[in-house]
Protein backbone atom coordinates (compact mmCIF):
# COMPACT_ATOMS: atom_id res chain seq x y z
CA UNK A 1 0.00 0.00 0.00
CA UNK A 2 2.83 2.37 0.89
CA UNK A 3 4.46 2.01 -2.51
CA UNK A 4 1.20 2.72 -4.35
CA UNK A 5 0.23 5.69 -2.16
CA UNK A 6 3.69 7.26 -2.04
CA UNK A 7 3.92 7.08 -5.84
CA UNK A 8 0.35 8.07 -6.74
CA UNK A 9 -0.88 10.03 -3.72
CA UNK A 10 2.13 11.38 -1.81
CA UNK A 11 -0.06 13.98 -0.10
CA UNK A 12 -1.62 11.14 1.95
CA UNK A 13 1.71 9.70 3.15
CA UNK A 14 4.48 11.03 5.33
CA UNK A 15 7.53 9.45 6.88
CA UNK A 16 7.03 8.35 10.46
CA UNK A 17 8.91 10.85 12.61
CA UNK A 18 10.94 8.36 14.66
CA UNK A 19 11.48 5.70 11.95
CA UNK A 20 11.57 7.55 8.62
CA UNK A 21 13.82 4.86 7.11
CA UNK A 22 11.20 2.08 7.27
CA UNK A 23 7.86 3.35 8.54
CA UNK A 24 5.23 5.76 7.23
CA UNK A 25 2.01 7.34 8.41
CA UNK A 26 -1.01 7.29 6.11
CA UNK A 27 -3.55 10.03 6.81
CA UNK A 28 -7.19 9.21 6.15
CA UNK A 29 -9.76 11.86 7.12
CA UNK A 30 -12.78 10.77 9.13
CA UNK A 31 -16.03 12.62 9.59
CA UNK A 32 -18.19 11.73 12.56
CA UNK A 33 -21.89 11.27 11.83
CA UNK A 34 -24.31 13.77 13.34
CA UNK A 35 -25.07 12.90 16.94
CA UNK A 36 -21.70 11.22 17.48
CA UNK A 37 -19.95 11.45 20.81
CA UNK A 38 -16.79 13.39 20.10
CA UNK A 39 -13.45 13.98 21.77
CA UNK A 40 -14.84 16.94 23.69
CA UNK A 41 -17.07 14.61 25.73
CA UNK A 42 -16.21 14.57 29.43
CA UNK A 43 -13.33 12.09 29.83
CA UNK A 44 -15.04 10.75 32.96
CA UNK A 45 -18.23 9.98 31.03
CA UNK A 46 -16.06 8.12 28.50
CA UNK A 47 -14.21 6.22 31.23
CA UNK A 48 -17.52 5.15 32.78
CA UNK A 49 -18.73 3.93 29.37
CA UNK A 50 -15.50 1.96 28.93
CA UNK A 51 -16.03 0.40 32.36
CA UNK A 52 -19.66 -0.44 31.54
CA UNK A 53 -18.75 -2.15 28.25
CA UNK A 54 -15.92 -4.08 29.92
CA UNK A 55 -18.02 -5.28 32.86
CA UNK A 56 -21.30 -5.90 31.03
CA UNK A 57 -20.12 -7.16 27.64
CA UNK A 58 -16.40 -7.94 27.27
CA UNK A 59 -15.82 -9.93 30.46
CA UNK A 60 -19.14 -11.82 30.49
CA UNK A 61 -18.60 -12.82 26.85
CA UNK A 62 -15.02 -13.99 27.36
CA UNK A 63 -14.51 -17.74 26.97
CA UNK A 64 -11.05 -18.62 28.25
CA UNK A 65 -7.58 -17.39 29.07
CA UNK A 66 -6.32 -14.48 31.09
CA UNK A 67 -6.51 -11.95 28.26
CA UNK A 68 -10.11 -10.75 28.16
CA UNK A 69 -9.21 -8.23 25.47
CA UNK A 70 -10.59 -4.74 25.69
CA UNK A 71 -12.52 -2.01 24.01
CA UNK A 72 -10.03 0.21 22.19
CA UNK A 73 -10.28 3.69 23.65
CA UNK A 74 -8.28 6.89 23.63
CA UNK A 75 -9.04 9.36 26.40
CA UNK A 76 -8.11 13.00 25.80
CA UNK A 77 -7.35 14.88 29.00
CA UNK A 78 -7.07 18.60 29.64
CA UNK A 79 -4.30 19.74 31.98
CA UNK A 80 -6.62 20.05 34.98
CA UNK A 81 -8.11 16.54 34.51
CA UNK A 82 -4.98 14.37 34.80
CA UNK A 83 -4.99 13.89 38.58
CA UNK A 84 -8.68 13.00 38.76
CA UNK A 85 -8.32 10.64 35.78
CA UNK A 86 -5.34 8.92 37.42
CA UNK A 87 -7.40 8.46 40.58
CA UNK A 88 -10.31 7.04 38.53
CA UNK A 89 -7.99 4.62 36.73
CA UNK A 90 -6.48 3.39 39.99
CA UNK A 91 -9.88 2.91 41.65
CA UNK A 92 -11.27 1.13 38.56
CA UNK A 93 -8.15 -0.82 37.53
CA UNK A 94 -10.05 -4.12 37.57
CA UNK A 95 -12.52 -2.85 34.97
CA UNK A 96 -10.27 -2.30 31.95
CA UNK A 97 -7.17 -3.88 30.40
CA UNK A 98 -5.54 -0.76 29.04
CA UNK A 99 -6.28 2.73 27.85
CA UNK A 100 -4.53 5.23 25.63
CA UNK A 101 -4.39 8.60 27.34
CA UNK A 102 -3.27 11.68 25.46
CA UNK A 103 -3.17 15.39 26.23
CA UNK A 104 -6.27 17.09 24.86
CA UNK A 105 -4.13 19.72 23.14
CA UNK A 106 -1.90 17.10 21.49
CA UNK A 107 0.97 17.82 23.85
CA UNK A 108 4.37 17.33 22.30
CA UNK A 109 3.31 14.27 20.29
CA UNK A 110 4.39 14.31 16.68
CA UNK A 111 1.81 12.69 14.40
CA UNK A 112 -0.71 12.14 17.17
CA UNK A 113 -3.61 9.83 16.25
CA UNK A 114 -7.05 11.26 15.61
CA UNK A 115 -6.08 14.89 15.31
CA UNK A 116 -8.83 17.46 14.82
CA UNK A 117 -8.62 19.13 11.43
CA UNK A 118 -10.35 22.11 9.88
CA UNK A 119 -13.11 21.74 7.29
CA UNK A 120 -10.72 23.12 4.65
CA UNK A 121 -8.10 20.43 5.42
CA UNK A 122 -10.79 17.74 5.58
CA UNK A 123 -12.19 18.72 2.18
CA UNK A 124 -8.68 18.83 0.68
CA UNK A 125 -7.82 15.36 2.02
CA UNK A 126 -11.13 13.95 0.79
CA UNK A 127 -10.44 15.33 -2.68
CA UNK A 128 -7.17 13.36 -2.76
CA UNK A 129 -8.93 10.15 -1.71
CA UNK A 130 -11.33 10.21 -4.66
CA UNK A 131 -8.63 9.00 -7.05
CA UNK A 132 -7.26 6.20 -4.86
CA UNK A 133 -7.69 2.87 -6.66
CA UNK A 134 -7.18 0.07 -4.14
CA UNK A 135 -7.50 -2.54 -6.90
CA UNK A 136 -3.97 -1.51 -7.96
CA UNK A 137 -2.56 -2.72 -4.65
CA UNK A 138 -1.52 -6.34 -4.97
CA UNK A 139 0.18 -8.21 -2.16
CA UNK A 140 2.27 -10.97 -3.67
CA UNK A 141 3.75 -12.23 -0.40
CA UNK A 142 2.04 -12.76 2.94
CA UNK A 143 4.39 -11.23 5.49
CA UNK A 144 2.02 -11.77 8.41
CA UNK A 145 3.95 -12.81 11.52
CA UNK A 146 1.40 -14.37 13.86
CA UNK A 147 4.15 -15.31 16.29
CA UNK A 148 4.78 -11.59 16.70
CA UNK A 149 1.17 -10.94 17.68
CA UNK A 150 0.61 -11.03 21.44
CA UNK A 151 -2.72 -12.86 21.08
CA UNK A 152 -0.86 -15.58 19.16
CA UNK A 153 2.10 -15.96 21.50
CA UNK A 154 3.35 -19.52 21.77
CA UNK A 155 2.13 -20.39 18.28
CA UNK A 156 -1.56 -20.59 19.18
CA UNK A 157 -4.05 -17.76 18.79
CA UNK A 158 -6.58 -17.35 21.59
CA UNK A 159 -9.18 -16.16 19.08
CA UNK A 160 -11.39 -19.06 18.04
pLDDT at 66 over 80: no
| 146 vs 150: CA distance, rounded Å | 8
pLDDT computed for residue 153 by the predictor = 56
Quote the pTM value. 0.61
pLDDT computed for residue 149 by the predictor = 61
Ordered by start, the domain boundaries in the chain are: 1-29+117-160, 36-114
C-beta separation of 51 from 70 below 8 A: no
Q: What is the pLDDT of residues 27-62, one digit of tens each?
A: 888 888 898 887 778 999 999 999 999 889 887 887
Averaged pLDDT for residues 138-154: 69
pLDDT at 160 over 50: no
Amino acid sequence: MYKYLSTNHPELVEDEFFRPHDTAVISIPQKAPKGSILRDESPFDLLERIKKVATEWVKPGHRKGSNTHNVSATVSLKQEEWDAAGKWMWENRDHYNGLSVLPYDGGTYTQAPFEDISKVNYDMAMAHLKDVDLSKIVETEDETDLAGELACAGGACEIT
